[in-house]
Structure 1
Amino acid sequence: MSALIDVILPVFLVIGFGYIVAWKGLFSETAVEGLMRFAQNFAVPVLLARSIARLDLDASYDLGLMVSFYAGALISFAIGATLARGVLRRTGPDAVAIGFACLFSNSLLLGVPITERAYGHDALAGNFAIISVHSPFLYTIGIVAMEWVRSKGTGAGLSRVGLNALIGVLRTPLVIGILTGFAIQAGQHLTGMALPAPVWSAMDMIAGAALPAALFGLGGVLVRYRPEGDGRAIAMVTGLSLLLHPAIAYGLGHFVFDLGTPALRSATLTAAMAPGVNAYLFANMYGAAKRVAASSVLVATALSILSVWVWLAILP
């Protein structure tokens, strides 16, 4: 019970506060848009750049950690897209968008604060190692799959599909923040000179605002999503995201790769997060399965209060 009260509840209280004030009209939709634009386009990329620039690459990048997390993500994507197409009889683009919702866990806005509250700031190295390739890799998978499905019958080749995917990935602010972090680290390594202290201090200030602003804004964004219809698709996305993905990550990390405790915690908890708002943004970008993606974000985020509690009890 202490994990629920001390670790999970504060994070969801911030989300709930944002939800209530937006629902009651005390924080307008325009204000929510502005806050999320600040968080997603500026503050969170700065947080990523700062964290990755300070990451010990040799110590943090564990092959077992990466395979444990991303094998679960890819299996969830494949099952979600296949069932959406073959069982739920959705169109090809809809199936990809639904699969993407199963693929893209909220690794940053939920995974980082919950891991930090449960195990402390020093436990986040594995989280940021996963996050450093999360958006680039998963957006590439989603965009390539979507462009391939949409290009059927148009004569577009794989090179065109790949180019569209690359352009789409490189334009995302999160990827720009990640690449900036790697660039800072490479520059410091090559020149032997660190960034000036005032620059680090400014980055710390902006990064400190990233998660509270993003969590509060996430609550405001969720107000507009209503779990209407598509019940089977929403249940499937929720089950794959909250149960299958972390189960695969835990099983591989514990029984196959024998990960150390910090890495096992990072892989499992990050995998246990609900689909992120990016799942809806991806669906909205292509106009496919928008209601399923939006409703899945809302329903899975609410249910993750209980599922994360269970995973915290299972983890060492």
Structure 2
Amino acid sequence: MSGLIDVILPVFLVLGFGYLVVWKGLFSESAVDGLMRFAQNFAVPVLLARSIAKLDLGASYDFGLMVSFYAGALISFVIGAGAARLWLRRTGPDAVAIGFACLFSNSLLLGIPITERAYGHDALAGNFAIISIHSPFLYTIGIVAMEAVRSHGTGAGLSRVGLNALMGVLRTPLVIGILTGFTIQAGQALTGMVLPAPVWSAMDMIAGAALPAALFGLGGVLVRYRPEGDGRAIAMVTTLSLILHPGIAYLLGHFVFDLGTPALRSAVLTAAMAPGVNAYLFSNMYGAARRVAASSVLVATAGSILTISFWLALLP
């Protein structure tokens, strides 16, 4: 048990420290916005570009790994959106936003540091393989679903919906960082030339600041969210995110695809993360179910301290 605490607690202490200093007024909300803008728009994309540029694509992209993770994500999205529409009687846009909160786990800001602390830096290849298509794929799912719901009855065609989705995804800083990483790797493979050492060193410096800054800033952002109202919706998002998604990843990875230990760890732990701030950003972008998304991020992040301990204890 002490080993699990040693893995999880430092990550949540950094997050909690950010929460505390903002809650006490020692760090302003405008400073939090600036810090998160640096982390999400610059430092984290550089981290992704550097990591994917150095990723062994042939060894990391395992079919069973991807299916185990993304099948759970998509099933959670369908159940979450369907239940929000049919059970909770939410509007179409609200249902999609709630489903997106079930879909988009915090694979980067929580998944990477917890996996690294538990199993070491060499265990992250599967995580980065998942993350390399995480934002592009899941944002596409969310945007297409939202645009389809919003355009229902307006006569807008599928081509317009698809174009809106594509432009929305390509403008995302995380996606730009991912594409940059693939571009660097492809350029080095085609030309045989590598980036100069000072460039890699500069990327290492910025990437080193990404996760601590983002975790601290995430704590500060969570101060704004109050778990109020919409209790059934929040409980559903939390359950699907923390239990169903990693449960499906574990069952498929262990019993169907017989994944090796590193791949199974990456699939399950990445799936076990709470919804990320992107869940709120998505709902805020469309003005749909913002209170549910915000409260779900806060409640699920707190609850994940217990559920992540369970999944760490279960994994080999």
Aligned residue for 2:230?
A: 230
Distance 1:124 1:262 in 2: 8
* 1:80 and 2:66 are equivalent in the alignment: no
> For residue 285 of structure 2, what is the amino acid of its counterpart?
M
* 1:310 and 2:294 are equivalent in the alignment: no
Distance 2:4 2:20 in 1: 21
What per-residue deviation string (whole Å, max 9, x for no partner) do you get for residues 165-207 of structure 1? 0000000000000000000000000000110000000000000
Q: Secondary structure at the match of 2:244?
A: helix
Task: Compute the displacement of 1:5 (Å).
Answer: 1.8
Distance 1:37 1:217 in 2: 9
Q: How does 1:114-129 map to 2 (within 5 A)?
A: 114-129=114-129
* 1:22 and 2:22 are equivalent in the alignment: yes
Aligned residue for 1:158?
A: 158
Q: TM-score, normalised by structure 1?
A: 1.00
Distance 1:138 1:149 in 2: 17
Aligned residue for 1:284?
A: 284
Q: How does 1:1-316 map to 2 (within 5 A)?
A: 1-316=1-316
Distance 1:3 1:103 in 2: 29
Task: Compute the displacement of 1:105 (Å).
Answer: 0.1
> For residue 293 of structure 1, what is the amino acid of its counterpart?
A
* Alignment check: 8 A CA contact 1:275 1:300 kept: yes
> For residue 75 of structure 2, what is the amino acid of its counterpart?
I
> For residue 288 of structure 1, what is the amino acid of its counterpart?
A
Q: Secondary structure at the match of 1:107?
A: coil
> For residue 249 of structure 1, what is the amino acid of its counterpart?
A
Q: TM-score, normalised by structure 2?
A: 1.00
* Alignment check: 8 A CA contact 1:3 1:312 kept: no
* Alignment check: 8 A CA contact 1:18 1:218 kept: yes
Task: Compute the displacement of 1:18 (Å).
Answer: 0.0
Distance 2:127 2:7 in 1: 16
Task: Compute the displacement of 1:61 (Å).
Answer: 0.1
> For residue 245 of structure 1, what is the amino acid of its counterpart?
H
Q: Secondary structure at the match of 1:89?
A: coil
Distance 1:4 1:296 in 2: 24
Task: Compute the displacement of 1:4 (Å).
Answer: 3.2
Task: Compute the displacement of 1:3 (Å).
Answer: 3.4
Distance 1:171 1:65 in 2: 27
Distance 1:73 1:253 in 2: 14
Structure 1 stretches of at least 4 aligned residues deviating more than 3 Å after TM superposition: none
Distance 2:15 2:153 in 1: 44
Distance 2:231 2:3 in 1: 30
Q: Secondary structure at the match of 2:201?
A: helix
What per-residue deviation string (whole Å, max 9, x for no partner) do you get for residues 223-253 of structure 1? 0000000000000000000000000000000
* Alignment check: 8 A CA contact 1:3 1:309 kept: no
Distance 1:211 1:4 in 2: 20
> For residue 134 of structure 2, what is the amino acid of its counterpart?
H
Distance 1:174 1:90 in 2: 30
Task: Compute the displacement of 1:209 (Å).
Answer: 0.2
Distance 2:118 2:50 in 1: 22
What per-residue deviation string (whole Å, max 9, x for no partner) do you get for residues 91-145 of structure 1? 0000000000000000000000000000000000000000000000000000000
Unaligned runs of 5+ in 2: none
* Alignment check: 8 A CA contact 1:68 1:253 kept: yes
Q: Secondary structure at the match of 2:90?
A: coil
Distance 2:67 2:222 in 1: 31
Distance 1:157 1:41 in 2: 32
What per-residue deviation string (whole Å, max 9, x for no partner) do you get for residues 244-278 of structure 1? 00000000000000000000000000000000000
> For residue 275 of structure 1, what is the amino acid of its counterpart?
P
Aligned length: 316
Distance 1:153 1:253 in 2: 41
Distance 1:271 1:257 in 2: 16
> For residue 276 of structure 2, what is the amino acid of its counterpart?
G
